[in-house]
Amino acid sequence: MHETTLLLIEVGALLLGMSLLGRVALLIGISPIPFYLLLGLAFGEGGFVPLAASEEFLQTASEIGVILLLALLGLEYTASELLDSLKSARTAGLIDAALNALPGAALALLLGWGPVAAVALAGVTWISSSGVIAKLLRDLGRLSNRETPAILAVLVIEDLAMAFYLPVLSAIVIGVSLVQGAVSVAVAVAVVSLILFIALRHGHIVSRLFPADEFEPLLLGVLGLTMLVAGVAAEVNVSAAVGAFLVGIALSGRVATNASQVLTPLRDLFAATFFLFFGLTTDSSELVMMLPAALGLAAVTILTKLVTGAYAARRAGVGTLGQWRAGLSLVPRGEFSIVIAGIAVGAGVNPALAPLATAYVLITIIAGTFLARLPEAAWFRGIVRRRALRAAGAA
């Protein structure tokens, strides 16, 4: 069979399967993300019928999916709102790094993998998945909630921190000189600063580049600029997600409103592909041995993310229930964790790091998808309300 024909058959079958699973998810009232992951595992490496012809296509589509998720999130907020959130979340960002990086580093040292593996696993457990969380917030209808800016501020701080972390990690695992590592970090920081400056100070000029009421050129222009900036950011070891998010922040007014409208169907398609591809590229047979360690690590870092999110939301003046929503929303890890593990293992760090990171990410994504819905349950709200009343009475 011709390769293109096989690609069309594979992609068509996967999309049809995702549609059916998405309908099941809607019927039982949960996010479809776990279903997409499990579908990928079923037909990926170590699955029932591994698919190969569509892998390269789906990889590209999944990268576009993350970019579109963050770009449309950025369109929901203004530059001033972003700046205010970042200022208010500085302390939360430091607490986030300390609480969530240390468990990963400690486990690597306990397993005897050495300090380089400890630095890598610290990054795996530290960084939440912007792509997964963005979809969760949208699926749960929380984009306008009071705690959402605090969640986004933590995510943006984490993604910006990657501008420092990834070049440093690459330098450590490869063994380059201190000067080379410093140059990489300096270039990454300069690019982030430039994008931030343009987004915050000259966003209104950027908006004028696009015709707000002409949907076709608006779609092509905003999508093109988003992918261009994301690509430039990724080239200098800055998160492509950060670049896409800041493009969204830079656009305003009718341009932002209409761009969100025309890009939403594309986001839905490519974002779903991201989660599918993650499952497809995971070898389920290698996960079993690392499951106990991954489960223990996930249990600890679910609690530390809960503390991080609750603190950030409380600093923003959000109530108790919103603090729970913020903390539980930050649980999933994803794209960055896999990238970090890939850099480390590719440079010769303990190969067991890869299946551990993969199992850990899958556990946190699946657990986080269900935990994020917990504050919506009537019994949970009742418990929070009773505890709040008791605390008020004691005061």
Residue 10 CB contacts under 8 Å (≥ 6 apart), including other chains:
51, 53, 54
- Contact status, residue 263 vs residue 223, Cβ threshold 8 Å: yes
Q: Would you write out the chain's pLDDT as a tens digit for each of its 395 residues?
A: 677 888 888 889 999 999 999 898 878 766 787 788 788 878 877 667 777 777 788 888 988 988 888 788 778 777 676 677 677 778 898 999 999 999 999 999 999 999 989 999 999 999 998 878 888 888 888 888 989 988 988 988 887 777 677 767 777 776 655 566 667 667 767 776 777 777 777 777 888 888 888 999 999 999 999 999 888 877 776 667 777 877 887 887 888 889 989 999 998 888 888 878 877 877 777 778 889 999 999 999 999 999 999 999 998 889 889 999 999 999 999 767 877 887 787 777 888 888 898 889 889 988 998 899 999 888 888 888 888 777 666 65
The identity of residue 222, as a single letter, is: V
In sequence order, what DSSP letters do the residues of 340-374 get, joined into one string? Answer: HHHHHHHTTS-TTHHHHHHHHHHHHHHHHHHHTTG
The CATH code of domain 3-386 reads 1.20.1530.20
Helix (H, G, I), strand (E, B) or coil at 182: helix
The identity of residue 106, as a single letter, is: A
Sign of the C-alpha dihedral computed for residues 163, 169, 175 and 178 taken in this order: positive
CA proximity to 326, closest of 161, 88, 160, 103 = 88
Q: What pTM, to 2 d.p., does this model score?
A: 0.75
Query: Tokens 């600029």 belong to which residue?
Result: 225
Helix (H, G, I), strand (E, B) or coil at 395: coil
